[in-house]
Amino acid sequence: MAPQYAPSLRSRLAPLLLILQTGFIIIAALCFENKETNKPDRKSFFHFYPEFQDVNVMMILGFGFLCTFPVRYGFSGSGFNLLVAIIATQWALILNGLDSWYNTKIIRIDLKSIVKAELCAVSALISIGSVLGKTNPVQLTLIALLEVTGFALNEWLLQTLLKVQPPNSIMLLHVFGALFGLMLTWILYRDGSKQGFEKETFDKKSGLFSMLGAVFLWMFWPSFNSVLVGDDQTRLEAVCSTYLSLAVSAVTAAALAVLSSPRGKFNPIQMQSCILAGGAAVGVSVSVVQQPWEAMALGFTAAILSTLGYRYLKTHLLIAFECHDTCSVLSTHGLPGLLGWLAQLVLQIKYCDDHTVAVRFAVFHICTLFITVSLSLSMGIITAFLVKWTFWRPQQNKKCFDDQAFWEFPNLVVRK
């Protein structure tokens, strides 16, 4: 008979985390530098700080509490998200700084580099959404490290080979994260998925915690899309576009939820994922969306795509491809991200007067997507095979979506 308890992580997780953290501190002691030299830019601290905190809230609270919907997985959902987010951020700080380290032997740490690292970490959080509840924290840590490596590599390739501007390349995190996650969950498929895991349910209270996370993501998404945009005017446009797009996608998602349900009811989890579609779509195309109606139309289309993805594609993926996407990252981030990519292509061509330039841009833009997709798919497959190794002690099917596997509840009583 199978053991009753989930395997202990004491001999796996603790050394892994301690080695990683000590390594990070040693690297920091050798390379990190806190001082900002460019005094004229000093003012930007105050301009930047509120958006920095908004992104921080989205990463830790938004994504964390979005993952608390499984009824017995609240601590894991929010706690592991925090753990993974900060490991990924530290790792991304180092990877993003490699370039400057190569030139100056110094990695400068300031708000901008931290925000950039956080955005890379978000791409890892998206991937992790697809395997939520079916992996242990050791696996999650490894996934995060490899995902961030892949994403940083992708960014470097895009910026070096195709001269893609930094905000544009970073915003592909939605596509990269979603496809990476899809490969993960495809290869890490567990037999129990088709029947549904015993504890993969939600109740009203856990659903409300998840609502809280969704609402924070919804509210602060304008900061997420505008934080790396350089120019003040463009930043303001990014904020307004994202706001309008999110508003439209929330209304549209509600309408479609009612329409696609036989009894005309809302599905809480579907709503929480589909109202966010507009944010991802505008994020990817933020540099070319100028008019409010373009952002609104994008939000409208994104919500339609996302709802279709949630209602039909997700089930299809599970049944036909054995690909069990817990947080439906494909429909929340993947499809809207691809839509944003398409919108960018269309709008850029529309604004082009010259036919040659337009064709050249199209080729260049298709290459961008091609590199991103192939890198995310291949890195996802490699990572998944590494993580599948039983050395990492994955929990049994019965212990999926169960806090009890990783958290102490001595009869739910703490004696302190």
Any contact of residue 83 with a copy of itself (CB under 8 A)? yes
Burial 110-127 (b: 16+ CB within 10 A, else e): bbbbbbbbbbbbbbbbbb
Shortest Å distance, C-beta 393 to a copy of itself: 10
**Residue closer to a copy of itself, measured from CB, 201 or 396:** 201
Q: Which residue has the tokens 């659903």?
A: 207
Residue closer to a copy of itself, measured from CB, 33 or 322 = 33
Helix or strand holding residue 31 (H, E): helix 13-31
Verify binding: residue 382, a copy of itself, rule CB under 8 A.
Answer: no
From residue 254 to residue 293, the character string flagging contacts with a copy of itself as x (rule: CB under 8 A) and all else as - is: xxx-xx-x-xxxxxxx-x---x--------------xxxx
Applying CB under 8 A, does 75 fall inside the site for a copy of itself? yes
67, 114, 170, 276: which one binds a copy of itself (CB under 8 A): 114
| Letter string b/e over residues 154-181, b meaning 16 or more CB atoms within 10 A of that residue's CB | bbebbbeeeebeebbbbbbbbbbbbbbb
The span of 148-156, 296-304, 338-346, 366-374 binding a copy of itself (CB under 8 A) equals: 296-304
Size of the site for a copy of itself (CB under 8 A): 128
Q: To the nearest whole angstrom, how small is the minimum distance from the Cβ of residue 160 to a copy of itself?
A: 27
Q: Cα–Cα distance between 87 and 240 in angstroms, integer?
A: 32
For position 407 contacting a copy of itself by CB under 8 A, the verdict is yes
Q: Angle at CA 177, nearest 5°, toward 55 and 107? A: 55
- Contact pattern from residue 1 through residue 20 relative to a copy of itself, giving x for each residue in contact according to CB under 8 A and a dash for the rest: ----x--xxxx-xx--xx-x
Q: Which of 315, 321, 370, 374 binds a copy of itself (CB under 8 A)?
A: 315
* C-alpha closest to that of 284 among 409, 172, 209: 172
1 vs 414, beta carbon nearer a copy of itself: 414
Q: How far apart are CA 365 and CA 165, in angstroms?
A: 12
The distance of closest approach from Cβ of residue 314 to a copy of itself in the complex, given in angstroms and rounded to an integer, is: 6
For the bound state, the minimum distance from the C-beta of residue 330 to a copy of itself, rounded and expressed in Å, comes to: 12
How many Cβ atoms are within 10 Å of 291's Cβ, its own excluded?
Answer: 12
Q: How far apart are CA 210 and CA 126, in angstroms?
A: 15
Alpha-carbon distance of 334 to 341, in angstroms, equals 11
- Rounded Cα distance between 94 and 21, Å, is 12
Specify the residue, 103 or 233, whose C-beta has the smaller distance to a copy of itself: 233
Per CB under 8 A, contacts with a copy of itself among 15-74 are 17-18, 20-22, 24-25, 28-29, 32-36, 42-43, 45-47, 49-51, 53-54, 56-57, 60-61, 64-65, 68, 71-72, 74
